[in-house]
Structure 1
């Protein structure tokens, strides 16, 4: 505020301002203060939230999953990559998997910066969302100005069923992801279940790949094959399928002897 203070009242040795000049300077100050407030939308960045750490085997498996994603999406380990996570159905643990992958990636890369875009179905949340902030006039740089430190950042995105608004949100998010690649090591999209939002097909073409989360005991192979064919036709890179809730009928101690 030092420079603004001087602009408003005049530095030492300046002549006394006229009323008109003082009003102009006052307007400059008000505009500067307004810009400083609008530079960063309030309540947009949220904590990652409570994550499920699981048992030791699940954590080891998730580390293997993450390493495989890194090798396929970022073989040179240069960062700036974007991956979408989408569930075959509800309650398959997509958000849990995304959060765990984010924690592992943040520990692996030098800048330790990971952004999670938590895409919700339309009307689910009343909180500040990324699409709402951008519709209100915040630029990509405005939003990213609040993400200068290390860590995992999470932002909500509200999808829309309206064709016109959905197309606008899609355009804004594609622009945002392109810029966010320069700011973060990884951008992870936590999407609703397959087929629930048109954003999945649009954003799937601009990310480096998509990981499908499936419930091992519920999801059927033909359903996964159908999704894979659809993605291939749309030019979407399917990185692989994450089998969550996998259970082993034979105890691990007994497997050692087989």
Structure 2
């Protein structure tokens, strides 16, 4: 039976991914990053939460937004309430106002004293796609850009709903998560093609649940692979 990768190795993998993202923006700044996958259970939320945490190790103001309004999970990982969040904030958001002034954004303190700002999904809404494609959401992101160094958005799987399309268009770039165990290649390519046609900037692919080579120290485990550029999307 495979062992899970230990926390030290996991952090190193995400630090490497963070560095690749930092160096990928020589020409166009990538500040707002949307994370999507083809289907549920492919590691999308794990990538979002760990990447946000590792960015928070280096940058003072990093915001993680759980935009999976249909099936939120990030609040469970951090063990915080989901009673109020993105949907509640947008319902009363005043364009141009300070994002940090809204109580829906909670501060998460980690053992190394790093601080991550987190916005859960909040109250359930009957029209998630309309909420995420609204002018209010765009205006909120515009203000958040001015107050945060990086913004990581965890979006719903694109093969189930179209919520990720407007968010990807509003973001600077999209990380596409592919599971080596579950993802169907044809479905992933079709979803990627649809997103690109809709104007999304797919700047990276993250491969999850990769069985590592056996070593005397760690045995078998799972890790994350990543790549950038058009070649990785084929």
* TM-score of the aligned structures, taking structure 2 as reference length: 0.70
Look up the match of 2:62: 114
1:246 paired residue number: 210
The answer to whether the 8 Å contact 2:85/2:119 transfers is: yes
How do residues 32-111 of structure 1 correspond to structure 2 at under 5 angstroms? 54-72=6-24, 74-75=25-26, 81-109=31-59
Give the distance between the partners of 2:49 and 2:99, measured in 1 at CA: 21
More displaced stretch, 62-71 vs 129-138: 129-138
SS of 2:46's equivalent in the other structure is helix
Look up the SS of the partner of 1:178 in the other structure: helix
Partner deviation per Cα, 1:97-141 (whole Å, 9 max, x = no partner) = 1121112212223xx110011113348696112222331355552
In structure 1, C-alpha distance between the alignment counterparts of 2:37 and 2:188, rounded to whole Å: 10
SS in 1 for 2:205: strand
CA distance in 1, matches of 2:172, 2:54: 18
Unmatched tracts of structure 1, length 5 or more: 1-51
Q: What residue is the counterpart of 1:162 in the other structure?
A: 127
1:162 shift after superposition: 3.3
Matched residue, 2:155: 191
Structure 1 residue 182, shift from structure 2 partner: 0.8
Higher relative contact order (CA 8 A, sep 6+): 2
1:236 Cα shift? Answer: 0.6
Sort the Cα spacing of 1:140 and 1:151 in 2 relative to 1 into closer, same or farther, 3 A.
farther
Distance in 2 separating the partners of 1:77 and 1:137: 29
1:173 Cα deviation (Å)?
A: 1.2
Verify the 8 A CA contact 1:89 1:214 in the aligned structure 2.
Answer: no
Q: TM-score, normalised by structure 1?
A: 0.64
Residue 195 (structure 1) shift = 3.5
* CA gap 1:61/1:214 in 2 versus in 1, 3 angstroms: same
Of Structure 1 and Structure 2, which has the larger fraction of its residues in helix? 1
RMSD: 3.3
Q: How far apart are the structure 2 equivalents of 1:99 and 1:243?
A: 15
Instruction: Indicate conservation of the 8 Å contact 1:122/1:161, yes or no.
Output: no
Q: Give CA-to-partner distance per residue, 1:181-212, whole Å, 9 cap, x none.
A: 11000111011222444331112112111111
Contact 2:131 2:137 in 1 (8 A): no
Count residues with an aligned counterpart: 197
Structure 1 runs of 4+ aligned residues shifted over 4 Å read 123-126, 137-140, 146-150, 158-161
Q: Is the 8 A contact 1:214 1:244 kept in 2?
A: yes
After TM superposition, list the pairs within 5 Å mapping 1:6-25 onto structure 2. none
**Matching residue within 160, 181, 189 for 1:217:** 181
Please give the alpha-carbon distance, in whole angstroms, between the structure 2 residues aligned to 1:103 and 1:53: 17
* Contact 2:90/2:140 (<8 A) preserved: no
- Does structure 2 retain, via aligned residues, the 8 Å contact 1:120–1:156? no
**Alpha-carbon deviation of 1:175?**
0.9
